[in-house]
Amino acid sequence: MKNAKIIVGVSAGIAAYKAVELVRLLVKEGAEVRVVMSANAGQFVTPLTFEALSGHPVYHNLFDAQNSMEHIRMAENGDLLVVAPATASTLAKMAHGLADDALSCLHLAFKGPLLVAPAMNEGMWGHPAVKENIALLKSRGVEFVDPEDGELACGVIGPGRLADTAVILDKVRSYFNPRDDLIGIRFLITAGPTHEAIDPVRYLSNPSSGKMGYAVAERAKARGGEVVLISGPTHLKPPVDVDFKPCKRADEMNALVQEHLADCDVLVMSAAVGDFAAEKLEKEKIKKHGDEGLVLKLVPTVDILLEVAQRNSGKLVVGFAAESQNLVESAFEKLKKKNLDFIVANDISAPGIGFQSDSNQVTIIDREENMEHLPLKPKLEIADLLLDRILTRLKRP
């Protein structure tokens, strides 16, 4: 981002302290960063903090007699405006063109691309007014980095937490270094858990969030690839412009994989497909009878990767192994048995990584048994590193 001129807009949310780290990292990457603050943002972080980190005066007082045209001057000297965090109030002002402080005036004067990272309490995030303001901004081409699920400052767990700084940073980078190295490559990606019904209201599943597979789909698409994303039930929004195929059961996922296999170059099987399903699906809800236990007979589900391997499809195939013990040994075994080009192994027993988390620590093993331990990274970064390795292998003569 050498010499990229980035304006960071900070509004009055509890996550304003995270904008401090964002500014620090942007400066570290060589960007020339200017900060503009809403009139209320100073309640959370002082302009002095941003001034010290950016090395430039911070624009926060619209009616500063010495600097009265700063919203125009600054707007003319930025390549990108990143508003992080964007409060519900600032989103509303941007959507409806209000201009009553430094940030909102600069927003209207700025003609370049706008990237917005909202953060708020989950009730505010779910309010129709907020949703409509976001839809309006999106219809004008404004890009968003959606908030994450997690523990919020109000103590509630839910959506609304400012996206990880690394994710925002990655999005900012993509404005200045758009990558299109996957043009012409067709990806078939599976993600999320599967649900195997026991009766009309119960099912067997696992805590997979789908975040890893969605991250691979998002980055493959962003880098120019064509993407079909087959997903079990998740709470995630599919990345823009991917061909999205939702499903529930392992056999449904298998049918979709087999249907689309012929039209892909790369198959990435990141879904956490359940290994077992109930032998019999009860038509009615199973009743509880006092203290009597319930014995369920489970049968194995279809092994999708094995079916792909047996068809010897000639595709580049990537599998994932989530293990709670003997991680590397189990991953090697799966690599061989399922004839994979790569296996991405992660230790689900380690705290803070794996299924629900936005970050992961994985080991990538290739067909030749070269092993690469990656440090803890956001899933989007892991996705890019995996795609880099896939691309290198595809280019091999």
Residues with active-site annotation: 154
Which range, of 82-90, 246-254, 303-311, 350-358, touches ligand FMN by CB under 6 A? 82-90
Q: Which region holds residue 336: left if phi is over 0, alpha if psi is between -120 and 50, else beta? A: alpha
119 Cβ contact partners less than 8 Å away, ≥ 6 residues apart: 13, 14, 15, 84, 85, 86, 87, 147, 160, 161, 162
Cβ closer to ligand FMN: 88 or 383? 88
Minimum separation from the CB atom of position 136 to ligand FMN (A): 16
Could you say which of 38, 133, 346, 359 contacts ligand FMN (CB under 6 A)? 38
- Residue 217 corresponds to which amino acid? A
* 196 within 8 A of 249, measured Cβ to Cβ: yes
Reference 84, options 111, 116, 114; nearest CA is 116
Minimum separation from the CB atom of position 6 to ligand FMN (A): 19
**CA torsion sign, 278 to 280 to 283 to 285?**
negative
- 155-184 binders of ligand FMN (CB under 6 A): none
Could you say which of 9, 53, 87, 137 contacts ligand FMN (CB under 6 A)? 87
Size of the site for ligand FMN (CB under 6 A): 15
β pairing state of 342-347 and 32-37: unpaired
Cβ of 43: how many Cβ atoms within 10 Å? Answer: 10
Q: Is 134 in the site for ligand FMN (CB under 6 A)?
A: no
Could you say which of 7, 124, 271, 302 contacts ligand FMN (CB under 6 A)? 124
Could you say which of 4, 12, 31, 169 contacts ligand FMN (CB under 6 A)? 12
Q: Which region holds residue 150: left if phi is over 0, alpha if psi is between -120 and 50, else beta? A: left
Phi, psi of 226 (to 5 degrees): -100, 135
Q: Is 258 in the site for ligand FMN (CB under 6 A)?
A: no
Euclidean distance between CA atoms 137 and 147, whole angstroms = 16
Could you say which of 1, 4, 9, 13 contacts ligand FMN (CB under 6 A)? 13
Q: Is 133 in the site for ligand FMN (CB under 6 A)?
A: no
Could you say which of 4, 80, 88, 185 contacts ligand FMN (CB under 6 A)? 88
Q: Which two tokens stand for residue 372?
A: 């690469």
Q: Is 89 in the site for ligand FMN (CB under 6 A)?
A: yes
Minimum separation from the CB atom of position 114 to ligand FMN (A): 15
Q: Is 27 in the site for ligand FMN (CB under 6 A)?
A: no
Which range, of 87-95, 174-182, 232-240, 315-323, touches ligand FMN by CB under 6 A? 87-95
Euclidean distance between CA atoms 318 and 267, whole angstroms = 6
Site of interaction with ligand FMN (CB under 6 A): 11-15, 38, 40-41, 87-90, 119-120, 124
